[in-house]
Amino acid sequence: MATDAPPPPKGGSRNRPAPPSTEEFIAEQQSAEFAELRHAHRSFAFPLTVAFIAWYLLYVLLSNYAGDFMGTKLFGNINVALVLGLAQFLTTFLIAWWYSRHAATKLDPKAEAIKSRMEGGA
């Protein structure tokens, strides 16, 4: 005779604690530690994003409205536009590297502490 009970979870995870309740999530979101994590992320990501977008828009505007300047040859067939275009790639990779360092040192430890507390130390 078949039962209506669902099969047990795979991987032997029967001892897994119950997920946090909505109230626990809200309480954690309102905690000082979560606010500190959010501030650490925002104070790094927002200014850097604005700076990079401004830098990108400057490149686009110079390309459209300062053609003579962008066409200035620096050496050989290398002009200002090519150097600034390659600098866009360089700054993209530098920002990604810088953010990964910031996340590893400042964000991940705080996030891991919050996660551990929410999961009951499991």
Q: What is the DSSP string of the chain?
A: ----SPPPPTTSGGGPPPPPPHHHHHHHHTSHHHHHHHHHHHHHHHHHHHHHHHHHHHHHHHHHH-HHHHT-EEETTEEHHHHHHHHHHHHHHHHHHHHHHHIIIIIHHHHHHHHHHHTTT-
In a domain, 1, yes or no: no
In a domain, 15, yes or no: no
In a domain, 99, yes or no: yes
Domain that holds residue 101: 28-118
The mean predicted confidence, pLDDT, of the chain is: 87
In a domain, 12, yes or no: no
pLDDT in tens, 61-102: 999 999 999 999 999 999 999 999 999 999 999 999 999 999
The verdict on pTM exceeding 0.95 is no
In a domain, 20, yes or no: no
What total number of domains does the chain contain? 1
